[in-house]
Structure 1
Amino acid sequence: MKKISDAMCGVKPFFLSYIIESAKFIMKAEEKLLLQKFLKGRCSDKELAQVKVLLEQPGVDGVLDELITIQSGEQWYGTLEPDQALLDLTARKKAEAAKRFAEGKSSQPELKKRWLFGRLNILQHAAIWAGVILVGTLAVWQYKNVVHHTEQVAYVERVNSKGLPLRYVLPDSSEVFLGAASSLRYPENFKGDTREIELQGEAFFQVNRNPEKPFIIHTGNVQTKVLGTSFKVEAFGQNPIVVSVATGKVGVSQHTGNTSKTLALLTPGKQVIWDQQKQVASEHNVDIYSLESWKTGDLSFEEQPLSAIVGEIQRRFGVKIHFADATLAETRVSVTFPAGKPIENVMYILSETGRFSYQTTDNLVYKIYPKK
């Protein structure tokens, strides 16, 4: 460590001298690109001849220093924490580069001689380069931490505890109608090349089309990806995840670790039900009118099991409904409830359609059982 420390002490005057020297030397962009290619050992014989001419120019050493520093800095940009391994690897890379230059990706003795005995002997300054790269890495590390601290992404959270779907406008002007007992989390601004949000519960989305910036909904380890369309997602705990499409195309996939599995590619009038317990996906037809009317508060069910209908009613009205006979839960019913209907009316209509009786308590707990 003492050698590295000593090397770092000499970095500033060493580096400053080359900056001063290079300031006097103006190099064209294409010439810099050529030198970068040379430093990576990728020059042809013709290009090496051009490099030889460039190396004879006064002040070129400063430019070379700059390019090598940038090259190493880019290599280690992703390193968050400088350590001894970084220093050792950096020094080794510089030594390997020097060896390539010395052994001559070129057969030209003058070029080889210049790198072996010229003013910029990289092997001689390997420790100094390690110090330079350490300083650069520390600066990048500090800068990234400052940026990460100052540019923390601000998130918006929306919650609908019960009642009719609530409409929200997202940062890209897309609309979402958030259902009862549901929550939504998304950034204040969609930066980068995607628009990503998290959903717990159910919601209907009307997504503005943007082929360059896919819209992705995360529900656990399932992703629903669209470019611009309207669709409904249901994801309550360990219940099956249901994605139903009204317009456009929707891709649904499961992501576990580094692997992904396509569950369905849906078009209008199609839905996929992903059974999280059995790990099975099944596709079905769905009534588009029912989907689109849901966002306005209407409840419309077409041949749905009574258990699914009861689940929606419990969330919408904040009540509890119990089955006295478990077989009732599988009874399939078609029924529609316009928005704004009180729970008393809803339960009466449902009992007549589903042919069951029910009792209620003062704290809105319903018990349903087969009609005698």
Structure 2
Amino acid sequence: MQEYRDVEPEELALDSSFQRWQLSNDPTASAFWQEWLIQNPDKADLVDKAASLLLSLHHSYDQQFSERVAISDSEIQSEIRRLHDSLERPVVAVKWFQFAPIRYGMAASILVVLGLFGWYLLQPKTEKTGVTYSELVTQVTEPLLEVSNTTNAPQLVNLPDKSTIMLYPKSRVSYASTFAGAKREIYLSGKGFFEVTKNPSKPFYVYANGLVTKVLGTSFTVQAFEGARQMQVMVKTGRVAVYTQDQVALNAKKETYKLEGVVLTPNQQIVFSPAETETHLTKSLVEKPVPLEQAAQQHTFAFKRAPIAEVFTALEQSYGIKIVFDEEVMRTCSLTASFSDEPLFDKLELICRTINATYKQVDGTIIISSNGC
């Protein structure tokens, strides 16, 4: 996994695997680059700069393509140099964009964009709206009970299996009066916090405007208001699987007791943008991770010349979040500090500042970069 170590940011930005990771969150590409970052933590800066260049180019040329604006050689070279200069690196010749000196029409513009970003930018740009709550409910043959929260405060909903939903204002849910079949199914529009009674033999599904959440027993929040630009699933405890309503093999997922799709653990979330041209789920940490209930009682976060590996292990166990670092490079690093109720990211900021390191999150994992102590 060393073949990318000596490339420049602009070269990495044009790599197809790197593009699939950054632009479409392709699972195979994501797994590869996460592993590559773990093995090459000193190259985090290279990845950051390449990602900035790629995303800036993607936004600029995707907009021009959607507006059917022709793109000339000089425009491409100018944009590359401008974005490259913004990264505070010397301008280099970009040999990939040396085309014949003619004025391009629409067909040539498509080829230019194809060379930059791959086949996915040529897909039809029809707006996706997902499957609405009303459409889902009308497809169900058995009678459903509906609860609609028209108040200004959260409302507790008790389900037949003793699970509960804290239903937020302007939200509604529908469900069967008894969960008699092989699965428990809930239909949601809006926001609800679910505490699901564990039953591995009868999976629990939440269908929310194109987003499907599947659990066996856990607690999590689904926020999926109809017409919203983004929808979220945030996990408090246990493991949750999330996928979209229109994904292939949906029926197969519904008939199994395994957690498939994108699996989330505590303090992780999924963000889904149904109106985007290319459907994908973006996995990350929640904005304010909180300690797990049992772990919060066990860890005081008081360290005296503690090896940094011990510090990161304590944070991992407390928040249920994976922290990746090069233990060999940081073997001499230690910490003397005492923390109380500071947010996790404040703790990480203080720790990294003390040991001259940096951190970033990738797909719900914290990655620490350091040259040693």
What TM bracket, shorter-length normalisation? 0.3 to 0.5
Alignment TM-score, normalising by the size of structure 2: 0.36
The structure in which a higher percent of residues are helix is 1
Which is greater in Rg? 1
More relative contact order, 1 or 2 (CA 8 Å, 6+ apart): 2
